[in-house]
Structure 1
Amino acid sequence: MADNNSLFFPESLQKQINDKVIIVQILVIIFLCINLLLIITFSKKECFYTTTRYVLFAVTLLSDSFLLFMSNILVIFTHFYITIQVWLCIIICVVVLVYVTVTPVTLTAMTLERYVAICMPLRHGELCSTRNTIHCILIIHCLSSVPCIVILSTFFVSASLSFYKQYQLCSVEVFMFYIWQQHLRSAIYQLQFLIMSIILIFCYVEIMKVAKAASGEDKKSSKKGLRTVVLHGFQLLLCLIQLWCPFIEAALFQIDYNLFYDVRYVNYILFYLAPRCLSPLIYGLRDEAFFNALKNYFSFGLCKRNTI
């Protein structure tokens, strides 16, 4: 009698699946370790956790780490066809649904912070105080919870009590009984990203105006802020493309399973893992103060001694 895996995956795919899972595990472990190093660096210096842009950076690191960890569990479950009860799937998917949006919303907040720092420098200290930063983090999580609340609300209304104890292959699609639920989910995400894109374009244009008018150190700072906004825009683009992946994969599933599996694997690497490794690059390595602190702590102070 065939085992569960062979019922759903061709036998020729078994080795492929194992190889691909191993590659994903290596990438996830690398990204999580990098994020952990950056979080430790962030926690070591008071100037980091009292400065808005560094606090928001830490939020993206934690958000990306939660998402990588939980989505990786779903990847493993899917590849090896491990089913779990629906109530447990709800808990996992709540984290995934919330934190898949926290990063792009936080990136938008970081773009606004750069706009205030460059275009409204005299009000930067007032608007980007520690108190306001905490309020900003709460707002970010509230806005990021909207898609999750809508999706689960429509599910709770439609599902019977017995369904929660059923064993299912865990994915967000489990909560979609009707096609209108998928359209509603897509509409909410598209609206969110449209608003974020408008904010990002507005900040880019305003910072560009200041960069053209500035001179000396101000011009250098403005150009650096402009490059940061462009990188944030690239990250948001990757996150936006990610929203379309489930629709593309669903169409391919009806045509060719091998093609579906390959495209889904590539989508996970490019649009889930790649955007999450850009944050450390943008702020962890490009920011001089943070990069110097990182070198100092993880060279056991040797870099600092050599500069004295």
Structure 2
Amino acid sequence: MAANNSVTGDDLWYVHVRYSTLQVVLVFFISSNLLLIITFFKKEYFYTTARYILFAVALLSDSFVLLLSNIQLILLHFDVPIQVWLCIIIVVVVILYLTVTPVTLTVMTLERYVAICMPLRHGELCTTRNTMHFILIIHGLSSVPCILILSTIFVSASLSFYKQYQICLVELMLVHVWQHNFRAGLYQVQFLIMCIIVIFCYVKIMKVAKAASGEDKKSTKKGLRTVLLHGFQLLLCLIQMWCPLIESSLLQINVTLYVVVRYINFILFYLAPRCLSPLIYGLRDEVFFRALKHYLFSRLKRVLEIAVSPICLA
């Protein structure tokens, strides 16, 4: 009995450490995204330029996913059930913005393609007005999987189901195997289309890079690296779409194994792709990075002045 209690205590300690570590990481990246969003609104150039507007959309999308996924994680960790109708609202936003991010990345790749391969038309196509239309299109396309997945829940559940209390996981709402398969297949088709678009843009930009010279060549190569990073993000997002199918299978076999695999998947395929967006534009982009440094230093200077003022008065 002592041995069993010791093992249980060790397992419980490991779960709490793992959960606490994840909370620290999530708070850090949500705070980083918030800082980048504030920087975006501090300079008019950013919110009148297509690629920075799309970058802000990706940041907001990632922040929504991280925040709501963390709420689900907290409820799961403390084993807190909520009513199904409330869970569906959370799940709707998570499913929607899980798709908004990769669709936005695809549109950002197309914007780089237009900027490099059709520079004379870039100013005409990528105006602020058109970018707002693109954002509406992004959300419209992203809502299609969300509507279809929810439809499979609505057709197979009675009205009493929505008043029940359960742990807020979409896998528990998809009660039939065909629903899981439909969800996975839907995402695969969507991401296959996105991957084809990214590969097409990469090939076209590569051709321009070979023909370019001097500053144009340097700029084109930077655009090529950006497209590659977007492609890597999309690859992680594509793998992420297989995760629910794997997790739902494990849930039927072993709950402990399901929790461990879900934790690993969350780190590698949910968190990692959303950490690359700040890296690609927040740190690699010289203009944005200078604005970020200026904002940070000005805020730090103001905090120091406020802290020193009482000392000087004394």
TM over 0.5: yes
Tell me how far apart the structure 2 counterparts of residues 177 and 206 of structure 1 sit (CA, whole Å): 45
| Structure 2 residue aligned with 1:3 | none
Report what 2:51 is aligned to: 53
Deviation at 1:182, TM superposition (A): 1.3
The worse-fitting range, judged by mean Cα deviation, of 280-289 and 154-163 is 154-163
Q: Quick one: structure 1 residues 295 and 71, their matched pair in 2 at CA, closer, same or farther if it must change by over 3 Å?
A: same
Could you tell me which of 10, 14, 17 is aligned with 1:16?
A: 14
**Which amino acid is 1:264 matched to?**
R
* Shift in Å, 1:256: 4.6
* Deviation digits for residues 236-262 of structure 1 (CA, Å, limit 9, x no counterpart): 011111111122233444555443332
| 1:211 alignment partner in structure 2 | 209
Which residue does the alignment assign to 1:113?
A: 111
Instruction: Tell me what 2:83 maps to.
Output: 85
1:30 to 28, 32, 48: 28
Aligned to 1:259: 257
Structure 1 residue corresponding to 2:145, chosen from 147, 172, 177: 147
Deviations 1:53-95 (A, max 9, x none): 0000000110000000000111111122111000000110011
Q: Which residue of 1 aligns with 2:305?
A: none
Is the 8 Å Cα contact of residues 154 and 181 (structure 1) preserved in structure 2?
Answer: yes
1:262 & 1:173 partners in 2: Cα distance? 16
Q: In the TM superposition, what whole-angstrom CA distance separates every residue of 1:116-145 from its partner, at most 9, and x where no partner exists?
A: 000000000111011110000001011111
- 2:187 partner letter: Y
Equivalent-residue separation in structure 2 for 1:253 and 1:172 (angstroms):
12
Counterparts in 2 of 1:67-82, with a 5 A limit?
67-82=65-80
Q: 1:198 to 1:153 in 2, by over 3 A?
A: same
Q: Unaligned 5+ residue runs, structure 2? A: 1-7, 302-314
Counterpart pick for 1:104 among 99, 102, 105: 102
Indicate conservation of the 8 Å contact 2:96/2:142, yes or no.
Answer: yes
How far is the alpha carbon of 1:27 from its aligned partner?
Answer: 0.5
Does the 8 Å CA contact 2:171/2:244 hold for their aligned counterparts? Answer: no
Counterparts of 1:262 and 1:155, CA distance in 2: 26
Using the alignment, how far apart are the partners of 2:21 and 2:262 within structure 1? 14
The 3 A distance-change label for structure 1 pair 301 and 74 is closer
Secondary structure at the residue paired with 1:300?
A: helix
Is 264-273 or 278-287 further displaced after alignment?
Answer: 264-273
Distance 1:234 1:124, change over 3 A: same
TM-score (norm. length: structure 1) = 0.92
**Corresponding pairs, count:** 295
Shift of 1:151: 1.1
Candidates 259, 265, 268, aligned match of 2:266: 268
Residue 3 of structure 2 corresponds to none
- For residue 163 of structure 1, report the CA deviation from its aligned partner: 0.7
User: Which whole-Å CA distance do the structure 2 matches of 1:247 and 1:148 have between them?
Assistant: 16
Q: Evaluate the alpha carbon distance shift between residue 166 and residue 257 of structure 1 in structure 2; reply closer, same or farther with a 3 A threshold.
A: closer
CA distance in 2, matches of 1:42, 1:183: 40
Structure 2 partner of 1:62 = 60
TM-score scaled to structure 2, two decimals?
A: 0.90
d(CA) in 2 for partners of 1:158 and 1:245?
23
Partner of 1:5: none
Instruction: Indicate conservation of the 8 Å contact 1:151/1:175, yes or no.
Output: no
Paired residue secondary structure (2:45): helix
Equivalence for 1:225: 223
Which of 274, 278, 281 is 2:279 aligned to? 281
What secondary structure does 2:55 align onto?
helix
- What amino acid maps onto 1:230 in structure 2? L
Instruction: Note the alpha carbon deviations across 1:148-200, whole angstroms, 9 max, x for none.
Output: 10011121122111111000111112331322111111111001100000000
Q: Which amino acid aligns with 2:161?
A: F
After superposing the two structures, state which structure 1 stretch, 270-279 or 260-269, moved more. Answer: 260-269
Question: 1:105 offset after TM fit, Å?
Answer: 0.4
Find the counterpart in structure 2 of residue 193 from structure 1: 191
Identity %: 69
Cα deviation code 1:207-229 (max 9, x no counterpart): 00000000111101110000000
Q: 1:301 deviation in Å?
A: 8.4
Of 116-125 and 16-25, the range deviating more from structure 2: 16-25
Counterpart Cα distance in 2 of 1:255 and 1:187: 22
User: Which residue number corresponds to residue 244 of structure 2?
Assistant: 246
Following superposition, the deviation at residue 302 of structure 1 comes to 9.5
Whichever residue aligns with residue 189 of structure 1, its letter is: Y
